[in-house]
Structure 1
Amino acid sequence: MENPGYARRLTLMDAALIVVGGIIGGGIFLNPGIVAQRTASGWVLLGLWVAGGLLTLIGCLCYAELGARRPEAGGSYVYLREAFGRLSGFLFGWTMLLVIYSGSSAAVATIFGSYATAVFGLSPDLVKPLAVGALVFVTGLNLFGIRFGAQVQNVFAILKLAAITVLVVTGLAFAGAGAGATQALATSPTAVTGSLAGALLPVLFAFSGFSYLNNLAGEVRDPQRTLPRALVVGMLVVIAAYVLVNYAYLAVLGHDGLANSNAPAADVMSRVFGAAGAKLIAIGIAISTLGFCNITLVAGARVLQVMGQDGLFFGSVARLHPRYRTPNIALMMLSAWAIVLVLLANYGQLLDFAAFGDWAAYAVTIATLFWYRRHSTERPAFATPAYPLLPLIFLVVVIGVVVAYSLDKPLSAGVVCLVVLAGLPVYAVWRRLFSKVTR
């Protein structure tokens, strides 16, 4: 029985909220304190968040052209397979399954478990069981069609934006409409503890996830027009949210207070509303993490499904549900591996592995844009502005960040590189024994 094919049911609003939900996870509630530790003033801190947002916006513009050229499921896997060959696509999918998407889902699900135990006063021993439960929950939501899954995701995205709005309004109101932030921006006795590249790392990792929509391009209505609009609109919403949240942190905590905070969102809310405020924002963060896990698993499942269709993965994962037209086997497989990672690793390890792999994959994927421009005669519905300058800026900065990350965390970077290298013999064996199509 042939696959019925994906159903194009995602609207512009659905797609834009997928971008928002794929980026805003737990990073904005945790990483600003790390950035403050590595900067000398609030102005530098805010400048880095703006710079990180603009760099990610450039990435969105590049992905918008790639999506307009190939508006089908699979995203980066499809671009890499077509531009650099099947081995390149396989290595992306292999690393995506073992480290990037599964690791991101597992890490953020662990954040959910941590906040859920804090909100309800549960034992810390329940963090991992709750994380597993969160992954099972969001997997189950997406077994019954992209339309239902998108509606749930829209609710998650709107609720997380509502939580951010409450945080921003509370912070600015408490500090006299930003007077505290203005003072914090001006100067700080905190010394710079690392290079700007080191400070940019946690910023960029908080912006990870902008590519997930491209994996779902086969289910977007009028994708040549909708994908670029959704990527840009969603990214602008995230940039505004991130900058305002950091301004609110500075308004209440000051630069030094932010640098000394392990949970700035909870610290801001607790100063205004006490324990009740901390619980309120914890619930918002938990919802945010559920939305992120939801998008990550859904997007990753589409990559596995296309790989199976190409003969580069098990044939069973290529099958779509005949009624709901969803890759349920691929979805459950990715979710199962994410659960294994939750049980085997801690949050820090998962975050390090996933973050390094994620941004390295962005750089390699955007490099395919140069291949398309040189070898394709088609005129896409959307073209990256200021080509080749903007893609080159993205590549240079991201490669610099990846190198800096490798120097900062050589063990984590080395593990990811080993996973990629391990894919070479696996690909050779798979092509010899199982692949239906060779190249």
Structure 2
Amino acid sequence: MQGKQQLNLFSFTMIVVGLVIGMGIFRTAATSAKDAIEPSVYFTAWVLGGFFALCGALTYAEIGSRYPITGGYYKVFSYAYHPSIAFAINCIILISNAASLSGVALIGSGYIAKLFPQVAWTDVDKALISCGAIIIFYLINLAGLKMSSRAQNVLMLIKISMIVVLILALFFPHQPQAVTTNVAPASSMSWIQSLGVSLIAVSFTYGGYQQTINFGSEVSRPARNIPRGIFIGIAIIIALYLLVNLSYYHIIGFNNMKGEREIAYVVMEKTFGNKGADIFSFLLFFGVLAYVNALLLSNPRVMYAMSTEGTLPKLFARTNDKNGVFTASLTAFSATCIVILFFAQTFEKILNFSIFLDCFGMVASSATIFVLRKRTRELDGTGIYKMKLYPLMPLIFMSAYLFVGISIALQTPDIALVGALVLAAFMLIYFITHRFKRKDNDRSVVYTE
């Protein structure tokens, strides 16, 4: 493995940046502002979100160094926990990914709706647009068409360019924003309570760093380059996000941010006029389509891998003989996205549902570092990455997600209850299917004898 290491410091840093920067920053800032009682809460949430991402990325990097895996970070659960817990958490991660896809699709539909201001768009209309995007890319993937890495890189460049444009808007003259009277009344929440709720949207925006677990054994000089790459990458992300938020804050105003959904459109409109805002929204929709396509490509492969290991039924391991498409897995994942889309319909509900499920996955996956430290002591001193300030960093990370999970439960107890029931249901499904498997095996043994 050592001879095949290819990722240098720069490449690994760019991977970290690419994993985290998604589409959330074009919508979640408004949601985070709505839940913040004052600007200090808002900006503290974005700084803390970056710090928690740093703690998480370093934790997952060491997990990847101690337990190199290639099929997705879900495999570490079956190594560290009881199979029922591994099965349940793996499944809720897939559900969370489906919710994330649906939420991002709604972001895109909101921006594309801005191109047709004469239409009175409802949440159902936007959900239908999102559903259409999911179905289109489901059919494309069903036909075996994969987006080339060159096209994916171009779309990534478009996304980065849009973030840069939002930052540059700070230095352009813009129309003054009139203070709106349609602002939510002052909240009775305390500063800490407000911070917890504001962190929900921020956590969604900083997500993706957990995938550093897949690169722990593929980075040259890991003990040196992994922590440096993560520190530099997260620092770049924090700087970009804070600058974008400063642009929102300066051009729109904190109170006015609370009433917006397509917040980046407003910035572009105030700075570059309606035509500039329309071009921005059009390009942003392509970025959303790239994200939808990427998740429809990756998650069915996770389901396939889980099926080959016996974690999911064998049905999900079936492939199309002509083009190798994981038809059953792709269909099941796409259907889940659409069900979640119409179950929630609004971005805020999907956001809370997705992050609440993520809280289970993040806490459980990062906690595997304590198991791995004990089981892989022989790797210490062999050149693998070993984080400093252990166990402080994983404990901070786990505490942060517990804080966010509790905040969701207090703000939207119905959504938290659904999330908890989903976890319990998957554990029940495991024990039921496992019992039937054991009975079938017993019958097979009796028949053989």
Is TM > 0.5 for Structure 1 vs Structure 2?
A: yes
- Which residue of structure 2 aligns with residue 4 of structure 1? none
Q: Given the superposition, is the C-alpha separation of residues 16 and 118 from structure 1 closer, same or farther in structure 2, using an over 3 Å criterion?
A: farther
- Which residue of structure 2 aligns with residue 386 of structure 1? 389
The aligned amino acid for 1:428 is F
Report the alpha carbon displacement of residue 149 of structure 1 after superposing the two structures with TM: 4.6
Unaligned runs of 5+ in 1: 1-7, 181-189
Report the alpha carbon displacement of residue 353 of structure 1 after superposing the two structures with TM: 1.3
Moved more, 305-314 or 273-282: 273-282
CA distance in 2, matches of 1:309, 1:283: 40
- Which residue of structure 2 aligns with residue 55 of structure 1? 52
Report the alpha carbon displacement of residue 269 of structure 1 after superposing the two structures with TM: 1.2
Report the alpha carbon displacement of residue 64 of structure 1 after superposing the two structures with TM: 1.2
Report the alpha carbon displacement of residue 131 of structure 1 after superposing the two structures with TM: 1.8
CA RMSD of aligned residues (A): 3.8
What do residues 39-58 of structure 1 show as CA deviations (whole Å, max 9, x unaligned)? 45545432321111111121
The counterpart of 1:102, out of the listed 98, 119, 144, is 98
Contact 2:60 2:366 in 1 (8 A): yes
CA distance in 2, matches of 1:101, 1:437: 34
Q: Given the superposition, is the C-alpha separation of residues 107 and 53 from structure 1 closer, same or farther in structure 2, using an over 3 Å criterion?
A: same
Q: Does 1:419 align with 2:422?
A: yes
Report the alpha carbon displacement of residue 100 of structure 1 after superposing the two structures with TM: 0.7
Contact 1:359 1:402 in 2 (8 A): yes
CA distance in 1, matches of 2:262, 2:254: 14
CA distance in 1, matches of 2:221, 2:145: 22
Report the alpha carbon displacement of residue 76 of structure 1 after superposing the two structures with TM: 3.8
Report the alpha carbon displacement of residue 281 of structure 1 after superposing the two structures with TM: 2.9
The aligned amino acid for 1:403 is I
Report the alpha carbon displacement of residue 21 of structure 1 after superposing the two structures with TM: 5.2
The counterpart of 1:28, out of the listed 19, 25, 28, is 25
- Which residue of structure 2 aligns with residue 240 of structure 1? 239
Q: Given the superposition, is the C-alpha separation of residues 354 and 244 from structure 1 closer, same or farther in structure 2, using an over 3 Å criterion?
A: same
Q: Given the superposition, is the C-alpha separation of residues 429 and 403 from structure 1 closer, same or farther in structure 2, using an over 3 Å criterion?
A: same
Determine helix, strand or coil for the equivalent of 1:130.
helix
Q: Does 1:356 align with 2:352?
A: no
Q: Please show how residues 61-210 of structure 1 align to structure 2 within 5 Å.
A: 61-97=58-94, 99-120=95-116, 124=121, 127-139=126-138, 140=140, 148-174=147-173, 194=189, 195=193, 196-210=195-209
The aligned amino acid for 1:365 is S
CA distance in 2, matches of 1:401, 1:94: 21
- How high is the TM-score relative to the length of structure 2? 0.79
CA distance in 2, matches of 1:200, 1:25: 17
The counterpart of 2:406, out of the listed 403, 408, 416, is 403
Q: Please show how residues 254-333 of structure 1 align to structure 2 within 5 Å.
A: 254-318=253-317, 329-333=328-332
Contact 2:71 2:302 in 1 (8 A): yes
Percent identity for Structure 1 against Structure 2: 27
Q: Given the superposition, is the C-alpha separation of residues 104 and 34 from structure 1 closer, same or farther in structure 2, using an over 3 Å criterion?
A: closer
Q: Given the superposition, is the C-alpha separation of residues 232 and 131 from structure 1 closer, same or farther in structure 2, using an over 3 Å criterion?
A: farther
What do residues 370-418 of structure 1 show as CA deviations (whole Å, max 9, x unaligned)? 1111222224722223111111111112211211211111100100100
The aligned amino acid for 1:79 is V
The aligned amino acid for 1:342 is L
- Which residue of structure 1 aligns with residue 371 of structure 2? 371
Contact 1:145 1:325 in 2 (8 A): no
Moved more, 336-345 or 108-117: 336-345
Q: Given the superposition, is the C-alpha separation of residues 126 and 403 from structure 1 closer, same or farther in structure 2, using an over 3 Å criterion?
A: closer
Q: Given the superposition, is the C-alpha separation of residues 433 and 40 from structure 1 closer, same or farther in structure 2, using an over 3 Å criterion?
A: closer
Determine helix, strand or coil for the equivalent of 1:274.
helix
The aligned amino acid for 1:241 is L
What do residues 219-269 of structure 1 show as CA deviations (whole Å, max 9, x unaligned)? x96699598777555544432221110011122123333334333212211
The aligned amino acid for 2:130 is A
- Which residue of structure 2 aligns with residue 253 of structure 1? 252
Moved more, 325-334 or 205-214: 325-334
Report the alpha carbon displacement of residue 288 of structure 1 after superposing the two structures with TM: 3.4
Report the alpha carbon displacement of residue 362 of structure 1 after superposing the two structures with TM: 0.7
Q: Given the superposition, is the C-alpha separation of residues 362 and 289 from structure 1 closer, same or farther in structure 2, using an over 3 Å criterion?
A: same
- Which residue of structure 2 aligns with residue 46 of structure 1? 43
Report the alpha carbon displacement of residue 175 of structure 1 after superposing the two structures with TM: 6.6
What do residues 316-370 of structure 1 show as CA deviations (whole Å, max 9, x unaligned)? 4336789988756534432232133334441343222112111331111101111
The aligned amino acid for 1:115 is Y
Q: Given the superposition, is the C-alpha separation of residues 46 and 329 from structure 1 closer, same or farther in structure 2, using an over 3 Å criterion?
A: same
Moved more, 242-251 or 221-230: 221-230
Q: Given the superposition, is the C-alpha separation of residues 243 and 228 from structure 1 closer, same or farther in structure 2, using an over 3 Å criterion?
A: same
Q: Does 1:432 align with 2:435?
A: yes
Contact 1:92 1:361 in 2 (8 A): yes
Q: Given the superposition, is the C-alpha separation of residues 18 and 282 from structure 1 closer, same or farther in structure 2, using an over 3 Å criterion?
A: farther
CA distance in 2, matches of 1:333, 1:191: 43
What do residues 133-183 of structure 1 show as CA deviations (whole Å, max 9, x unaligned)? 32245453697698x55443322222111111111101333379xxx9xxx
Q: Given the superposition, is the C-alpha separation of residues 333 and 18 from structure 1 closer, same or farther in structure 2, using an over 3 Å criterion?
A: farther
CA distance in 2, matches of 1:291, 1:18: 17
- From the CA coordinates, give the structure whose radius of gyration is larger: 2
Q: Given the superposition, is the C-alpha separation of residues 401 and 343 from structure 1 closer, same or farther in structure 2, using an over 3 Å criterion?
A: closer
Q: Given the superposition, is the C-alpha separation of residues 355 and 10 from structure 1 closer, same or farther in structure 2, using an over 3 Å criterion?
A: farther
Q: Given the superposition, is the C-alpha separation of residues 338 and 39 from structure 1 closer, same or farther in structure 2, using an over 3 Å criterion?
A: closer
Q: Given the superposition, is the C-alpha separation of residues 327 and 223 from structure 1 closer, same or farther in structure 2, using an over 3 Å criterion?
A: farther
Contact 1:65 1:382 in 2 (8 A): yes
